[in-house]
């Protein structure tokens, strides 16, 4: 009972990225369970959009100073963490994305120790913090050290766990706790008017959502779509924004799929509405530790053609919830897509995509975090 309701400090990126979404949704769910959850970050997390008496938000601020070519965010964050832990009597920190949150947490924990406050921290590895950013020699020593210093480590897939152990000298266990989905929010909604507006002739609707970074290989989405479009009437919706978007827009304009076959919707809050009318999700990433965007789609009964990158085979079951193809193999992806979109197969794929998503239901995953918190606090 001592651990029934905990006071948890969550540190994350407050932006649209998957790690911030997981951290925020986790914090909201913990607050609803009765835990007190304190978000510590540089701006209001995008999905922290409702009031709950157990949710608190502490903004990290850095005063500008002419000398600072690089404002010392990590120091400001660690200072804020110390302050919140002391005054709110936190039981533990849970930091999402190792860089630079794990090293800030280490600093905060050590400072707190000198003041008589002993609290542990858990680091959750989300993907690019390991696969791209962390491995870089310019950061690796600090990343390795602060992961090892974590009192608990979780990763969002088995593949990311393996990758971390292979590339860093980690002396601790890494517990795999996958991404989760709130099936009450992400479910197929009746949006027939929306479908009609986009697919006037009942074309098949294909969707991709991402932050348009290079690792997502959005150009493959366009290439696969064009191959599908050569065979059947179809439309493509692209949701999200990011550095590659301009280039992808140009590619879409220059290829066979012109006119309004391809639409860029930009960033969208209610992505579940678009997913509700979609027939297929394309995830073409060359790296993807879990693939939260694909799970959101599956929860809305959208089957998946994905690559075999990272943890995607742990989410997508080949021939069941969709198909898995080699990274960059656009021919295979188009062929797989056409199989799924075949009217004889589509209803079955949709049902099985939903069934697969249910494995990652919030109510199955939340207790894993709660148990890990208790274990970590007890062991500290
Ligand atoms: O995919 C991104 O670029 C965003 C990134 C992040 O760190 O916010 O997402 C990562 O974390 C998500 C939540 O755990 C995972 O579902 C994504 O697969 C992972 N992205 C990559 O590994 C590229």
| Residue 287 Cβ < 6 Å to ligand 1 | yes
- Residue 293, in any domain of the structure: yes
- Strand 7-11 vs strand 36-41: parallel, antiparallel, or unpaired? parallel
Interatomic CA distance for residues 286 and 172, integer angstroms: 28
324 CA from centroid of ligand 1 (Å): 19
Confidence of residue 33 (pLDDT cuts 50, 70, 90): very high
Task: Report d(CA 89, CA 6) in Å as an integer.
Answer: 10
Give pLDDT tens digits for 128-162.
888 777 788 899 999 999 999 999 999 999 999 99
Cite the beta strand spans of 53-171 per DSSP E: 55-59, 92-96, 121-125, 152-155
Number of folded domains that form the chain = 2
Collapsed DSSP state (helix, strand, coil) of residue 263? strand
In a domain, 186, yes or no: no
Please state the atom number of ligand 1 nearest to the C-alpha of residue 216.
23
Contact between residue 283 and residue 353 where contact means Cβ atoms under 8 Å apart: no
What pLDDT does 192 receive?
A: 87
Q: Tell me, what CATH number does 66's domain have?
A: 3.40.50.2000
**Ligand 1 geometric centre to CA of 19 (Å):** 6
Same domain as 312, residue 371: no
- Interhelix angle 140-149/98-114, rounded to 10 degrees, is 50
Domain match, 32 and 151 both: yes
Residues 71 and 176 in one domain: yes
Mean pLDDT of 203-224: 97
Do both 138 and 28 map to the same domain? yes
Same domain, residue pair 222 and 322 = yes
Given pLDDT bands bounded at 50, 70 and 90, which one contains residue 259? Answer: low
| Domain presence at residue 22 | yes
Q: Indicate if 345 and 368 belong to the same structural domain.
A: no
Quote the domain boundaries for residue 52.
7-180+361-379
Q: Indicate whether 197 and 252 sit together in one domain.
A: yes
- Residues 261, 320 share a domain: yes
Taking the mean position of all CA atoms in its chain, how far away is CA 350? 22
Atom 12 of ligand 1: nearest residue by CA position = 18
Give CA torsion, residues 22, 297, 294, 93, to 10 deg: 10
Quick check: is 79 in a domain?
yes
β pairing state of 152-155 and 234-239: unpaired
Is any ligand 1 atom within 6 A of the Cβ of residue 156? yes
Q: Is position 338 within any domain?
A: yes
ipTM of the complex: 0.96
| Alpha carbon of 126 to ligand 1 centroid (Å) | 6
Q: Are residues 326 and 277 in the same domain?
A: yes
Cα 3 from Cα 73, distance rounded (Å): 32
Shared domain check, 127 and 229? no
Residues 56, 163 within the same domain: yes
Domain membership flag for residue 237? yes
Confidence of residue 257 (pLDDT cuts 50, 70, 90): low
**Cβ(193)–Cβ(259) below 8 Å:** no
**101 C-beta closer than 6 A to ligand 1:** no
- Does 121 share its domain with 212? no
State if residue 45 touches ligand 1 by the CB under 6 angstroms criterion: no
Cα 199 to middle of ligand 1, angstroms: 31
127 Cβ inside 6 Å of ligand 1: yes
**Is the previous residue joined to 100 through a cis bond, with omega within 30 degrees of 0?**
yes
């Amino acid at each position: 009972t001592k651990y029934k309701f905990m006071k948890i400090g969550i540190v994350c990126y407050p932006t649209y990225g998957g790690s911030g979404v997981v951290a925020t949704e986790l914090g909201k769910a913990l607050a609803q369970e009765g835990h007190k959850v304190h978000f510590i970050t540089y701006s209001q997390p995008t999905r922290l959009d409702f009031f709950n008496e157990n949710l608190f938000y502490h903004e990290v601020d850095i005063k500008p100073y002419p000398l600072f070519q690089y404002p010392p965010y990590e120091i400001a964050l660690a200072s804020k963490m110390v302050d919140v832990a002391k005054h709110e009597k936190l039981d533990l920190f849970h930091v999402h994305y190792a860089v630079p949150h794990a090293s800030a947490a280490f600093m905060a924990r050590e400072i707190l120790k000198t003041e008589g406050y002993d609290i542990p921290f858990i680091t959750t590895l989300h993907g690019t913090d390991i696969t791209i950013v962390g491995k870089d020699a310019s950061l690796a020593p600090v990343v390795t050290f602060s992961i090892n210093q974590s009192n608990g480590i979780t990763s969002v897939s088995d593949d990311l766990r393996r990758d971390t152990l292979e590339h860093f000298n980690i002396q601790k266990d890494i517990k795999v706790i996958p991404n989760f989905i709130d099936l009450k929010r992400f479910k197929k909604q009746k949006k027939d008017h929306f479908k009609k507006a986009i697919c006037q002739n009942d074309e098949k609707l294909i969707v991709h959502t991402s932050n348009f970074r290079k690792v997502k290989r959005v150009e493959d989405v366009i290439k696969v779509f064009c191959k599908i479009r050569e065979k059947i009437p179809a439309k493509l919706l692209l949701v999200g924004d990011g550095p590659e978007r301009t280039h992808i827009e140009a590619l879409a304009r220059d290829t066979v799929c012109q006119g309004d076959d391809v639409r860029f919707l930009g960033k969208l809050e209610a992505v579940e509405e678009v997913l509700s009318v979609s027939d297929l999700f394309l995830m073409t990433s060359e790296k993807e530790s879990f693939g939260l965007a694909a799970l959101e789609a599956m929860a809305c009964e959208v089957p998946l053609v994905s690559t075999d990158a990272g943890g995607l085979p742990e989410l997508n079951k080949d021939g069941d919830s969709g198909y898995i193809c080699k990274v960059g193999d656009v021919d295979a992806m188009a062929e797989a897509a056409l199989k799924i979109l075949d009217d004889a197969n589509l209803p079955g794929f949709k049902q099985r995509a939903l069934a697969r998503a249910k494995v990652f239901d919030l109510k199955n995953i939340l207790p894993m975090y709660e148990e890990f918190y208790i274990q970590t606090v007890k062991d500290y």
